[in-house]
A and B are shown apart, each in its own frame.
Chain A
Amino acid sequence: MIKIEGVSFSYNRRDDALSEVSLDIEKGSWTSILGHNGSGKSTLSKLMVGLLSPSKGSITIDGLVLNEENLSKIRKKIGIVFQNPDNQFVGVTVKHDIAFGLENQCIPHDEMKQKIMQYAKLVNMEDFLDKEPHQLSGGQKQRVAIAGALAMEQDILILDEATSMLDPEGTLEIIELIKHLNKHLNKTIITITHDLSFAAQSDHLIVLKDGKVILEGLPKDVFKEEDLLKSSHLELPFELAIFNELVRQKPEDKKLLEALWAYNSKM
């Protein structure tokens, strides 16, 4: 679905924010891109939606090479939601905010109304259509932002640190929504995060450090590389760290280890 080949990017022409990154993201998967602050993960997401263009290498999305000519076609395939819900709330009320992208596409009024309702329902915000942003919690604002992106009906949705400013409850709301979009609506989801517990729920993990991919694979396998993760300023979630420690120190207690692993996958 997304193919990134040998992509480098530099903000200042001296240091590479990303260097020689190559990766594949499969259709219908939920991929998390993990990395410390400054690892290049947001740069990568901006490259994928064409907000930045690579200084080297190429990006192909659904068979289309990302270049100026294809940009408007590609924007119909891939959408992005950013970290701070307050910075991206552009409408006066929820309904205007969801409508913003649709208005820009000159969609007929009736169809637009119907779409606003449809996507507000999808994110459980249909009872808040006339609310203003200050009347909403962070999680609710973030769901409105997602509804606005979904209304564009793209196949791929990137969520760049979409939960890092939310409280645990708001985070859970977003996780539930992501699962629904991915499993039931077959959206390809890419989440950018530094939160390993959050990333543990996705199908596929990519770990960036100083602009390079250092680990890739299933969450279970990636989390075994504790030292490498630590050296990248990423800490294992409490429950995984306990599990790894017991694998090392009490490998004979299979019953305990199995029960602990079951706890991890339940999360």
Chain B
Amino acid sequence: MGIQFKNVGYAYKGFKKSYDAIKNINLNIESKGEFIAIVGHTGSGKSTLVQHMNALLLPNEGNVIVFGQQLPPKKSEKINYLRQKVGLVFQFPEYQLFEETIIKDIMFGPKNFKETSEHALESAKKAASIVGIDESLYEQSPFRISGGQMRRVAVAGILAMEPEILVLDEPTRGLDPKGRTDLMEIFREIHEKEDKTIILITHDMDLVSEYAKRIIVLSEGKIVFDGKKEDLFAHPDFNSYHLDYPTPLKILKHLEETIGLPFVPKYDFTSLLEYLKGVNHE
């Protein structure tokens, strides 16, 4: 199950010319336990790719299969239910808040999927507690809280639909560093506790290095790398991907060049600190 892409292509069509956003995409994403980062330049097709995952876009070429449902669907098939299975958090999702109160906004999704009000409320409360929105805020307007809180309310709105797979398009963009870490830790917890598959689009290689297990690199609409992060940063073609190294690796490279410290790849703060504490280079 999960999500499969089979030779998928999608072109945006203009009046005279069409523009290939993604081409020849083959991909297999498990329904449980994955933490995938999708990276690539602006315009490399990241957002187009993930919009196929819950049928916001339908492929022009090839097929996408989401939880057994083939896309594009046969004429009579209704596919709205896929939007519940695969929850997509857009960039700056707080721009989409609109309800009078925070709790109503979070309930909006589940209610639309014809849940009873009681059940929708229950899901909304659960989602609010996961993202750390306190009960005392429920009846407040979503427009009278801070930007970081608005972002969490918007994320809770997706979580309340209890999606099987969570897709996040630049979820931390524009947040301050504290807000960024807090939000990423929420996603880490969801991933670890519920074994939920998370797909993260980001430009931030430090987030990739710290959180992702598998990395997909897109370049001009094609997948140029799909594999473990350890293999990506050591890949002989890495420079041709035009990606930045994450900070821990940059620091290690610098230390190797300046004081000859042996380069042992580390991907997050704690393991880099442990390594540097332990080295003895006198």
Contact = CB atoms under 8 A, between A and B. Distances in A.
Interface string A193-214: 0111000000000000000000
A237 B272 CA distance: 14
B269 A235 contact: no
A245 B176 contact: no
Interface stretch (B18-26, B184-192, B254-262): B254-262
A168 B177 contact: no
Interface in A247-267: 249-250, 255-256, 259-260, 262-263, 266
Contacts, number: 78
B interface residue count range (under 10 / 10 to 19 / 20 to 34 / 35 or more) = 20 to 34
Nearest to A249: B277
B255 to A, nearest CB: 6
Contact of B146 (A38, A168, A169): A38
Nearest to A246: B276
A167 interface: yes
Contact of B203 (A168, A246, A255, A259): A168
B112 interface: no
Contact of A238 (B147, B247, B254): B247
Nearest to B244: A168
A55 interface: no
A118 interface: no
A90 interface: no
A interface, how many residues as a size bin? Answer: 20 to 34
B174 interface: yes
A242 B276 contact: yes
B1 interface: no
Interface string A80-99: 00000000000000000000
A37 B204 contact: no
B116 interface: no
Given A239-B251, A256-B276, A165 B269 contact: no
A60 to B, nearest CB: 31
A16 to B, nearest CB: 17
A196 B247 CA distance: 14
B234 interface: no
Given A37-B147, A246-B277, A234 B176 contact: yes
A160 to B, nearest CB: 14
A85 to B, nearest CB: 13
A235 B181 contact: yes
Interface of A: 36-38, 137, 164-165, 167-169, 194-196, 233-235, 237-239, 241-242, 245-246, 249-250, 255-256, 259-260, 262-263, 266
16 contacts: A37-B179, A38-B146, A164-B174, A165-B174, A168-B203, A242-B251, A242-B272, A246-B277, A249-B273, A250-B276, A250-B277, A255-B259, A256-B255, A259-B254, A259-B258, A259-B259
Interface of B: 42, 146-148, 173-174, 176-179, 181, 203-204, 206, 244, 247-248, 250-251, 254-255, 258-259, 261, 269, 272-273, 276-277, 279, 281-282
Given A168-B203, A237-B177, 10 more contacts: A234-B178, A238-B247, A249-B277, A250-B277, A256-B255, A256-B259, A256-B276, A256-B281, A262-B254, A263-B251
**Nearest 3 A/B pairs, CB to CB:** A235-B177, A194-B176, A233-B178
